[in-house]
Amino acid sequence: MCSVHWKVTFCSTSLEEDILALPAGFLARFLRYAERMEIHGPDLGMPHTRRVGQGLFELRLKAAEGIARVFYCTLAGRQIVMLHQFIKKSEKTPRKEREIARRRMKEVMNAKEP
């Protein structure tokens, strides 16, 4: 049995509820990858995760329902914080979605500073 080395959390209760309300295929992938991240850390590598830059990562979910993304960051103490999710409707990730994730990452980082 593997021990958990990282803790996956959410920046807000509403985000957690949004993720848990995703269509079944996305939710199954999210739960599987989140469990892997707790054991192996935040960077599972392509095609599951990708570094966006400046401390921001994306969890890449592909299922029968389409493609979804969940942005996240890491904090000291081996924490992985989910920041924002959306279902992709185009090839390129819209700038607005990245900006939301970056803003939430700043809020999370500032809240954790002493």
Dump pLDDT digits (tens) for 6-34.
999 999 999 999 999 999 999 999 999 99
**DSSP run (H or E) holding 32:** helix 24-40
pLDDT of residue 7: 94
pLDDT at 1 over 70: no
pLDDT of residue 63: 92
Is residue 43 a contact partner of residue 73, using CB atoms and an 8 Å limit? no
Among 40, 20, 14, residue whose Cα is nearest residue 100? 14
Global pTM?
A: 0.90
pLDDT of residue 93: 85
How does strand 66-75 pair with strand 56-63? antiparallel
Which band of pLDDT confidence, cut at 50, 70 and 90, is reported for residue 113? low
Separation of alpha carbons 89 and 59, rounded Å = 16
Average pLDDT over residues 80-85: 96
pLDDT at 77 over 90: no
Question: Both tokens of residue 83?
Answer: 């920041």
